Amino acid sequence: MRVAPPVIFSEEQREELGKLSRGRRTAVRVVERARIILLCAEGKQNREIAEILGTTRRTVGLWRRRFVQKGIAGIEKDAPRPGRQKPIAEVVVQEVVRKTTQEKPAKGTHWSSRSLAKVMGLSASTIRRIWKRHGLKPHLVRTFKLSKDPKFVEKLEDIIGLYLNPPEHALVFSVDEKSQIQALDRTQPGLPLKKGCCGTMTHDYKRHGTTTLFAALNTLDGTVIGTCMPKHRHQEWSQFLRLIDRETPKDQSIHLIADNYATHKHPEVQAWMAQHPRFTIHFTPTSASWLNMVERFFRDLTQKQLRRGIFRSVEELIASIKDYLGQHNADPNPFIWTKSASDILEKVTRARQALVKDMPL
């Protein structure tokens, strides 16, 4: 147990402290410090003094020690404080930026503030301030893929045209399959959400099989035609096309936006399409599935229904997906495409130019 050092002073010091504690022109902080020392001399403990003066025990202890070390001069003057730090030379800042963007550490793929600070002889907080000022985030990385489809522009303009200016007396569907959806059951029950604690789930699970969701998103009203099947071959795709045929008015033409999965181009599928001339399929450019609006619906389905779901059988998984489809179609919320083809092409052009510029010789 720590014991506060005793405060002992002479009569002259007592008289001086009394004047300071009563002085009307004395700074308030000095008055408080003088009162602290006088109470310390009476043998009172720090906690008791803090309660009497309405301050903290830490403050009382600080000025007790200061008086024991330096006397009255220790409480009349504040300890010197560090001034403003000397600004870092611009050449050093630019070297930090250069190393961050153009070099890698010997033992890693990217810099941390501590690893770069060690190399540069600076503090980690200084490195973080420089990164913040220049918008650098070495710990983050994003994936991308530029399409090399020779008909990229033609396909892009075709699909964006369907989103922004759909043809009259026609329905536009964004179609795809979400394959290999797993029916996962946790090995142990999780704990519920409560105040101060998030919900919990075990990291390990039991597999009970998979299913594939075939979905057609109506780009106009946001409704979805969907069904689950055990596989995703051309036979199942043909069944799904027949489902769309049954579920839509016969007097309207159908435009389907689909990716380049081989199943969608199978000869039997092409033969079926030829027999149903009201169907027209529009393929997205290769490596450009982001153009397919139904992917947005799949993301919502995963986040809201599947990721935290517990399914003890494939049947239970399918029932959950059907329930989500029913809830979605009862109050559909269409996704609004806002980017024009020219805006997208401009961005793709900049990305290609950046790749060529940064490509090593």
Kindly report the CA angle at 88 between 86 and 89, in degrees rounded to 5? 120
pLDDT over threshold 60, residue 360: no
Among residues 240, 349, 249, 257, which one has the least CA distance to residue 296? 257
Q: What is the mean pLDDT of the segment spanning 11-31?
A: 82
Element holding 256 (H helix, E strand) = strand 253-258
- Positive/negative CA dihedral, 28, 29, 31, 32: positive
CATH of 156-350, one of 3.40.47.10, 3.30.420.10, 3.40.50.1970, 3.50.50.60: 3.30.420.10
Torsion angle of alpha carbons 18, 23, 27, 31, nearest 10°?
A: 30
Spatial strand order in the sheet of 279-283: 224-229, 205-218, 170-186, 253-258, 279-283
Q: What is the pLDDT at residue 359? A: 52
List the structure tokens of 306: 């599947």
Domain boundaries, the chain: 11-76, 90-134, 156-350
pLDDT (tens digit per residue) in 304-359:
999 988 999 999 999 999 999 999 999 998 888 888 888 888 888 888 887 776 65
Residue 222 near residue 332 (C-beta atoms within 8 A):
yes
List the structure tokens of 157: 């303009």
Question: What CA–CA distance (Å, rounded) separates 171 from 190?
Answer: 44
Q: Is 186 exposed, middle or buried (0-12, 13-18, 19+ CB in 10 A)?
A: middle
Q: What is the pLDDT at residue 358? A: 61
Question: What CA–CA distance (Å, rounded) separates 306 from 178?
Answer: 12
Q: What is the mean pLDDT of the segment spanning 227-235?
A: 93
Banded pLDDT at 361 (limits 50, 70, 90): very low
One-letter amino acid of 140: L
Residue of higher predicted confidence among 301 and 60: 301
Residues across the chain: 361
Element holding 195 (H helix, E strand) = none
- Positive/negative CA dihedral, 21, 27, 32, 34: negative
Token match 């550490």: residue? 105
pLDDT (tens digit per residue) in 114-157:
999 999 999 999 999 999 999 999 999 988 888 888 898 999 99
Average pLDDT of the chain? 88
pLDDT (tens digit per residue) in 243-295:
999 999 998 999 999 999 999 999 999 999 999 999 999 999 998 888 999 99
Question: What CA–CA distance (Å, rounded) separates 65 from 141?
Answer: 52
Question: What CA–CA distance (Å, rounded) separates 116 from 104?
Answer: 10
pLDDT (tens digit per residue) in 152-201:
899 999 999 999 988 888 999 999 999 999 999 988 888 888 888 888 88
pLDDT over threshold 60, residue 34: yes
Task: Note if the pTM is more than 0.75.
Answer: no
